[in-house]
């Protein structure tokens, strides 16, 4: 088991890439702190992990709020005593061109997608430093490498995450903390289903979304979770500061 004895905090853990990663990391022996704003879903996920024989703590929190992030860390240390892995995965996808995007939508997306990473790292890094090691993984996006239409705010936050990833990698390389990000392409998740559902003809929209995929299909949450597992595992000990596309060639 590649994560035996490790404790991993995963944000946005209730569904999609977060949930698939939580299940996979748990299978590899990690204690999981599943963080999400959706109480019902995150409790269900946590139960599932326990049922599979793993250890899990469900933490209901809005990761854009400092006090809630700090209480996640306190609960983590109280239950598991350490934090080895921080997977900043929580995010939302505001859509539309910039002129149609309200200031409130901009602020909310920047708070959830970007500031949450600052808040979690700010809280967790001192613990990782005192432990002498740690791994941080952030979820950016293939859109940060190549733009797609109607995602101005989303793309700005995701490109900024790559910048933050490189900064953190450099600042903490001597503290034995590795920091990387994954850049998923369009992935089959509840979030995608919701976005497609917003189109007048969801089936047509799905066809159009698939048409732009070089591989002719979406990724699965499990495929992204495998990339996440690699980057947080000891097998990636020499990898830090990278933006790793897992996108079926979308960014080519």
Partner 1 sequence: MNLDFSGKVAIVTGGAMGIGGATVRRLAGLGASVAIFDIDDQAGRKTAALITNAGGTCDFFPCDVATGAEVSRAVEEVARKFGHIDILVSNAGIQLYGDAVTTTEDDWDKLMGINLKGCFLVSKSVVPHLLKRGGAIVIVGSVQSMTAISNSAAYVTSKHGLLGLTRAMSLDYAGRGIRVNCVCPGTIDTPMLRWAANLSDDPGKVIETCNHMHPVGRIGKPEEVADAIAYLASPMASFITGAALLVDGGMLVPAGGMGFQGSGTGAATHK
The site for partner 1 (CB under 8 A) is made up of 66, 97-99, 101, 103, 106-107, 110, 114-115, 118-119, 121-122, 125-126, 143-144, 146-164, 166-172, 241
User: In terms of CB distance, is 98 or 215 closer to partner 1?
Assistant: 98
Question: What are the structure tokens assigned to 30, written together?
Answer: 């990690």
Report, in Å, the least distance between residue 159 CB and partner 1.
2
Report, in Å, the least distance between residue 155 CB and partner 1.
4
Query: Which residue is catalytic, options 118, 154, 172, 230?
Result: 154
Report in angstroms the alpha-carbon separations of 213 from 92, 191, 221.
21, 18, 16
Length of the chain: 252
User: In terms of CB distance, is 48 or 131 closer to partner 1?
Assistant: 131
Report in angstroms the alpha-carbon separations of 83 from 157, 162, 203.
26, 22, 42
User: In terms of CB distance, is 4 or 99 closer to partner 1?
Assistant: 99
Q: Three-state SS for 95?
A: coil
- What's the angle, vertex CA 65, arms to CA 63 and CA 66, rounded to 5? 105
Concerning whether 230 is annotated as a catalytic residue, the answer is no
Helices (H), the chain: 16-27, 39-51, 66-80, 103-109, 116-131, 152-171, 190-197, 202-211, 221-232
Report, in Å, the least distance between residue 39 CB and partner 1.
26
Report, in Å, the least distance between residue 125 CB and partner 1.
5
Nearest to 232 by CA among 175, 180, 187, 184: 180
Report, in Å, the least distance between residue 175 CB and partner 1.
10
- CB burial of 135-156 (b: ≥16 within 10 Å; e: otherwise) equals bbbbbbbbbbbeeeeebbbbbb
**What's the CA gap between 61 and 19, in Å, rounded?**
16
User: In terms of CB distance, is 153 or 228 closer to partner 1?
Assistant: 153
User: In terms of CB distance, is 74 or 217 closer to partner 1?
Assistant: 74
Give the catalytic positions in this structure. 154
């Amino acid at each position: 088991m590649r994560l035996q004895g490790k404790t991993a905090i995963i944000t946005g853990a209730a569904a999609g890439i977060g949930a698939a990663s939580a299940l996979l990391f748990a299978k590899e022996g990690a204690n999981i702190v599943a963080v999400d704003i959706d109480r019902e879903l995150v409790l269900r996920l946590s139960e599932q992990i326990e049922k599979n024989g793993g250890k899990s703590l469900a933490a209901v929190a809005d990761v854009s709020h400092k006090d809630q992030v700090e209480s996640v860390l306190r609960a983590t240390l109280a239950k598991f005593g350490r934090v080895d892995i921080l997977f900043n995965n929580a995010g939302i996808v505001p859509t539309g061109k910039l002129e149609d995007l309200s200031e409130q939508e901009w602020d909310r997306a920047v708070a959830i997608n970007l500031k949450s990473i600052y808040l979690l790292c700010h809280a967790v890094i001192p613990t990782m430093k005192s432990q002498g090691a740690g791994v941080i993984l952030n979820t950016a996006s293939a859109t940060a490498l190549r733009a797609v239409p109607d995602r101005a705010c989303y793309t700005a936050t995701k490109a900024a995450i790559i910048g933050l990833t490189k900064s953190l990698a450099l600042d903490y390389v001597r503290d034995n903390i590795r920091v990387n990000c994954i850049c998923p392409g369009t992935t089959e998740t509840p979030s995608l289903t919701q976005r497609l559902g917003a189109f007048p003809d969801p089936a047509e929209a799905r066809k159009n979304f698939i048409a732009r995929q070089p591989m002719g299909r979406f990724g699965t949450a499990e495929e992204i979770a495998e990339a996440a597992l690699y980057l947080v595992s000891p097998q990636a000990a020499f990898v830090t500061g990278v933006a790793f596309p897992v996108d079926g060639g979308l960014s080519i």
